[in-house]
Amino acid sequence: MWKGWSSIALVALVAAAAGLAQTGAGHAFLQRAGLFQPPVSYTTLAFAHPESLPIQLKSRHASLNVSFVIHNVSRSSHAYHWSILVVRAGRSHREAAGALQVPGEGRATVSRTVNRKCVGGGLRLVVRLATPPESVDFLATCSAGQGG
């Protein structure tokens, strides 16, 4: 008879532990014990077609097509505030900005055209996210003889 009760007690104990593990306190305990990992959550930002970004601008007045991809690697939707900046001689100028909602495990592509003069040897174009703070950039030089 005692063996039957010990089996029932063991099953009840396992069920109680499993139930406790499903609570917030249980998750915290399991995480501290190294037995539980929260789901991975991060954002990636990249140019959609980096091979099409110019290394050298052909004329003084440049028209650059900029496309970038935001990838939300999390389970929940996230609002992203982005901006495109042109940086020259340590000063930046915001060319475009916006916001978009990206669903969990989703991607969104943003495309804009930036019209700028290529002076002072070149220009750096920066795509920046506000939260999380992420950025990608590239540098294009002016063609020889453009001066400025």
pLDDT digits (tens, 9 = 90+) for 10-22: 777 776 676 666 6
| Residue ranges making up the domain that contains 9 | 2-32
Q: Convert 92-142 into a string of H (helix), E (strand) and C (coil).
A: EEEEEEEEEEECCCCEEEEEEEEEEECCCCEEEEEEEECCCCEEEEEEEEE
Q: What angle do CA 116, 123, 65 make, to 5 degrees?
A: 55
pLDDT of residue 78: 96
Asked whether residue 148 is assigned to any structural domain, the reply reads: no
pLDDT band at 143 (very low <50, low <70, confident <90, very high): confident
pLDDT digits (tens, 9 = 90+) for 41-59: 999 999 999 999 998 888 7
How many domains would you assign to the chain? 2
Pairwise CA distance, residues 59 & 125, whole Å: 16
Mean pLDDT of the chain: 84
Could you tell me the CATH number of the domain that includes residue 126?
2.60.40.1710
Tell me the whole-structure pTM to 2 decimals.
Answer: 0.71
Are 79 and 13 in the same domain?
Answer: no
Is a pLDDT exceeding 50 seen at residue 69? yes
pLDDT of residue 45: 98
Distances (CA, A) of 123 to 27, 32, 87: 49, 49, 6
Asked whether residue 19 is assigned to any structural domain, the reply reads: yes
Are 28 and 48 in the same domain?
Answer: no
Q: State mean pLDDT over 92-97.
A: 94
